[in-house]
Amino acid sequence: MATLGSKLGLLAAGLLLSGCVQTTTYQETSQNVLKPRDKELLAKVSYVKTPVAEPFRRAIVDYHRKETPGSIVVDSDNHYLYLVQDGGKAIRYGITVGEEAMAWSGIAKIGNMAEWPPWHPTQSEISRLGVPKFVAPGPDNPMGSRALYLYSGGKDTLFRIHGTNQPEYIGASISSGCIRLTNEDVIDLYSRVKPGAVVVVLEPKHGDSPVNSKLALQGSGTGPF
């Protein structure tokens, strides 16, 4: 028999989760943002198109931070990227982020944008991962369908917001430092931002998400894999 304390705990969790549902509107990818090349290359991917767990699906959510509309905020703790909108709203995307030892945080700007970019691994990645110095654009390139290049003080930080050929890891921390979205989500994000947009990558343990993704995953009975 459940105790009063356990009942209250379940009620509190239920209220929190129901609050998330009430303020969350999930979005599908609009065919209008997919170019003929996108459709062609996305049809050729060799990776398994794993469904993204519900808490990490693209959604319009309430948002209380003070960044101006058009800014991007990355909450690595909860594996979310927010594109700030007018009226206290944001578009929230599930992401994969760099492992804690490799994670970068700070304020940057989008210095460059590219569709189906090539991959130029850093020397560290070449040594650590055994990858070539150059990987041509394509459906299985780790950079995916789009890339936003982050600059700080006029210099390339070498960190990117980009697609992925490993969508099964959305909601996890495994990459070598970059911020990854599904190819469909990064195409959507790319269509909404411009060079010069501010990108705020929150410090680890300083996440400011309207929803705790771990609690939401427990409540939905799903995981990021």
- Would you list the DSSP string of 67-118? PPTT-EEEETTTTEEEEE-STTEEEEEE-BEE-TTT---EEEEEEEEEES--
Q: Of 64, 120, 178, 206, which one is the catalytic site residue? A: 178
Q: Of 20, 120, 162, 206, which one is the catalytic site residue? A: 162
Residue 178 falls in the annotated catalytic set: yes
- Would you list the DSSP string of the chain? ---HHHHHHHHHHHHHHHHHHHT-EE-PPPGGG--HHHHHHHTT--S--PPPPGGGS-EEEE----PPTT-EEEETTTTEEEEE-STTEEEEEE-BEE-TTT---EEEEEEEEEES--B---HHHHHHH---S-B-SSTT-TTTTEEEEEEETTEEEEEEEE--S-GGGTTSEEESS-EE--HHHHHHHHHH--TT-EEEEPPTT----SS-HHHHHHHHT----
Residues labelled as active-site residues: 162, 178
